[in-house]
Structure 1
Amino acid sequence: MDERHPVGTTAIDNGSSALYDSASQSGGLLFSGACNSQAVKDIDVRRTIPADANSLAVLWAEMQRHYGQPVNDTTAKAAATAACRFSDNEFNPRTFVAISRKDGLVASLVLNVTFPARELSKSLYIRDLYVSKDWRRFGIARSLLQAAASLTITEGFSSLDWTTDANNVGARSLYEGAGAREMTRVYYRLYGTDLELASLA
Structure 2
Amino acid sequence: MSHTSCQLFLASGSPRRAELLRQIGVNFTRVRIDVPEALAPEESPEQYVTRLARTKAEAGWRALECAGANQVVLGADTLGVLDGQLLEKPQGQAHAAQLLRAMSGRSHTVMTAVALTNGASTDVALVRTQVLFRELSDSEIAQYWHTGEPVDKAGGYGIQGLGAVFVREIRGSYSNVVGLPLETTAPLLSKYNVPFWLGRE
Q: Same fold (TM over 0.5)?
A: no
What TM-score comes out, normalization by structure 2 length? 0.30
| Structure of higher RCO (CA pairs closer than 8 Å, 6+ residues apart) | 1
Task: Name the structure where strand makes up a greater proportion of residues.
Answer: 2
